[in-house]
Structures are given as structure tokens and as C-alpha cells.
């Protein structure tokens, strides 16, 4: 397959990783062939294997790119806000807009990757929970405590981390319901 544009090795590698997200999202890891991945990336299978020794290594690189992508930057920015009632509202809005009000192709692909992951080995979802779960829970807990202290929220016997996961699961369930 003739390349129309010469890229440096790392640029080509990143372009391949970006190009295969949609294929993995649509067909999952097991349902995708290296031929389909190479076609999506606009490279030969030989060049694909030059950059990634196996389909598994390409999948892992794609997972890592998703974990370090624009969503991670946005998520990190929201987590830097000080614990307060208003930050709690921002966190809930952030999560709902991420899952429910999504019209961005990048986010839609991420959602499809998460859904496909849950149907298969859950590796994509596990990586996301590992990278973002603990910090999300801690921030929501701190905001709930600040809101209770400010008198904006009534203390309940429900554990704060369960409240944080409830918001996450509610947003995710709404996304599932609305997803085509």
C-alpha cells in the first residue's frame, strides 16, 4: 500500500493508534482483524506489524492513548477545582454532559469502546476505572463533605463513595439508553 504522506515513526504510530479506535469500538478486539486495522490506518499489514508486534500491543497502545487523551485533560482540570457545593454541581454536570449530551465523535467512540469492552474482557473500562475512579470518588466525597458543612446538603447514612458511583452509573445508564 503506497503512502501518500511520509510520517516519522512516532507520528505514524500515533496516526495508526488514532485510526483504529473506531474499528475496535465497532467490532471489539476479538471481532477485528489486523487487515481491517491496517486498512483503517491506511497502511499495509506489514507496516502495522513494524510498529506493533501484535494486535494486542496495538490495542494496549490505543487504550493508553485514550487514557492520556483530551478527555483526561478535561477530567484533570475539573478535579483541580476546590471542594465545594458548586464544584459538586460542576462534577455532576461534567459527567452528565460527557455521557448524555455527547455529540462529539471522539467521545462517542470512547463510549462505544467502553460498551464493547463491557461485552468482552472489560479491559478498557477497567483501565479507565483504575486511572480515574479513585480521584473521581475522592473529589465527590470532598465536595459532599463541603456541601454538608456549608449547609447546602443534608448528611445521609449513605456512604459518600456510593453517591459518587451512583452519579457515574446513572450517567452511564442514560448514555446506554440514548446510544443508537
In this structure, what CATH number is given to the domain that contains residue 44? Answer: 1.10.10.60
Q: Is residue 92 part of a domain?
A: yes
Nearest of 179, 144, 149 to residue 164 by alpha carbon? 144
Q: Is residue 2 part of a domain?
A: no
49, 35 Cβ separation under 8 angstroms: no
Q: Is residue 137 part of a domain?
A: yes
Rg value, the chain, Cα: 19
Percent of the chain scored above 70 by pLDDT? 93
Same domain, 20 and 53: yes
Q: What is the mean pLDDT of residues 111-128?
A: 82
Same domain, 97 and 174: yes
pLDDT at 104 over 70: no
Same domain, 149 and 90: yes
Q: What is the mean pLDDT of residues 89-106?
A: 81
Mean pLDDT of all residues belonging to the chain: 85
pLDDT at 13 over 60: yes
What is the rounded CA–CA span in Å between residue 119 and residue 136? 24
What is the rounded CA–CA span in Å between residue 111 and residue 172? 9
Q: What is the mean pLDDT of residues 18-23?
A: 90
pLDDT at 3 over 60: no
Same domain, 50 and 96: no
Q: Is residue 156 part of a domain?
A: yes
**Which pLDDT score is estimated for 121?**
80
Tally of domains within the chain = 2
pLDDT at 141 over 80: yes
Same domain, 115 and 80: yes
What is the separation, in whole angstroms, between the first and last Cα of the chain? 34
Domain that holds residue 169: 69-178
Q: Is residue 19 part of a domain?
A: yes
pLDDT at 102 over 90: no
24, 59 Cβ separation under 8 angstroms: yes
Same domain, 61 and 74: no
**Which pLDDT score is estimated for 50?**
92
Same domain, 99 and 42: no
Among the ranges given (2-16, 63-77, 156-170), the one the predictor scored with the smallest mean pLDDT: 2-16
Amino acid at each position: 500500500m503506497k503512502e501518500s504522506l511520509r510520517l516519522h515513526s512516532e507520528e505514524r504510530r500515533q496516526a495508526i493508534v488514532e485510526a483504529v479506535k473506531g474499528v475496535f469500538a465497532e467490532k471489539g478486539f476479538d471481532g477485528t482483524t489486523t487487515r481491517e486495522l491496517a486498512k483503517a490506518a491506511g497502511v499495509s499489514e506489514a507496516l502495522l506489524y513494524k510498529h506493533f508486534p501484535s494486535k494486542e500491543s496495538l490495542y494496549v497502545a490505543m487504550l493508553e492513548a485514550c487514557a492520556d487523551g483530551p478527555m483526561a485533560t478535561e477530567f484533570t482540570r475539573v478535579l483541580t477545582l476546590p471542594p465545594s457545593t458548586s464544584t459538586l454541581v460542576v462534577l455532576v454536570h461534567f459527567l452528565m454532559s460527557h455521557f448524555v449530551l455527547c455529540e462529539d465523535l471522539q467521545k462517542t467512540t470512547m463510549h462505544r469502546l467502553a460498551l464493547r469492552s463491557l461485552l468482552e474482557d472489560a479491559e478498557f473500562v477497567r483501565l479507565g476505572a483504575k486511572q480515574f475512579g479513585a480521584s473521581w470518588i475522592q473529589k465527590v466525597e470532598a465536595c459532599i463533605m463541603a456541601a454538608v458543612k456549608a449547609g447546602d446538603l443534608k448528611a445521609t447514612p449513605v456512604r459518600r463513595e456510593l453517591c459518587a458511583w451512583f452519579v457515574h452509573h446513572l450517567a452511564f445508564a442514560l448514555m446506554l439508553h440514548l446510544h443508537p
